[in-house]
Amino acid sequence: MFLCPTERDTLMALHPAIRSCSRLQLSASVIDVTPLTLPHPPEPADAPTDQVRVALLAVALLCFNFNYGDLIRWLRGPYTHAHRCWTRLNDCLATVRDSTPPPSWPRVNSNHTQRVLEQGVPLQGHYSCSWASVIARNLHPLSPDLSREAHQVDERLRKEEKLSYHVLLPRFLFRFIIGIHLCLFRIAFREDDPNARLCVDPSTPINDEDDGNTNAQIPAPSIPGRFLENPPIYYGTALIR
């Protein structure tokens, strides 16, 4: 079925997200997104979030057919730890590769450890959730601590975005990212430090029907013939699951 321009305009007007995506497609035809691959330009410490960068990131994500992984690989640099000296890290790992672990401790899988360093974790996983849970999480109200500390949350998020710890995108785009899971956002305070820390919470369900808490889908640890409810955790093996 083909729609004429007037019909397409009518269709887009029926849903704000579709209308916003259409405008994004128009922007993608004329905007150069390559500046995103350059280091963050120097800015004052109190500079607000760069809304131009947010818009460019949205265009870039559309250009990658909303494949978030492809966007991160294209951004490179600090987003993929490309600035690290992997040769030096691998040389350090080689010095302890054949070390004998303490009694009763398992031998560290050095090849696995190297992959974790280079690629992050999890190295492999299969997660799924219902679209109903994604919508419910998008509509979930802010927790009282987020509302109470809104200024701190905004300040911390702004600073961490400038360090390439986060990619900020227009909210409506969550509807177009295939396979997306939405995590709750929380803050935490450590001891007497008045500065809040941002926490992504992939564990807490928001209701009895919610299946979007991805940590609940991590396989339980076990050994052949025996289930381990509280298995021992050893340095170098804790993230194998």
In a domain? residue 68: yes
User: Do the beta carbons of residue 123 and residue 136 sit within 8 Å?
Assistant: no
User: Do the beta carbons of residue 189 and residue 145 sit within 8 Å?
Assistant: no
| Domain region containing 169 | 31-79+126-217
pLDDT at site 62: 95
In a domain? residue 97: no
Residue given tokens 């076990």 in the structure block: 222
Amino acid at 55: A
Phi, psi for 38 (deg, rounded to 5): -85, 155
pLDDT at site 225: 58
Positions of the chain with pLDDT under 70? 1, 220-233, 235-241
Q: In angstroms, rounded to a whole number, what is the distance separating the alpha carbons of residues 50 and 11?
A: 31
Strand partners, 201: 184
In a domain? residue 104: no
Give me the number of domains the chain comprises.
1
In a domain? residue 135: yes
Helix (H) or strand (E) holding 57: helix 51-63
In a domain? residue 241: no
Write out pLDDT tens, residues 182-199: 999 888 888 888 888 888
Write out pLDDT tens, residues 129-157: 999 999 999 999 988 888 888 888 888 88
User: What pTM was estimated for this model as a whole?
Assistant: 0.81
In a domain? residue 6: no
In a domain? residue 206: yes
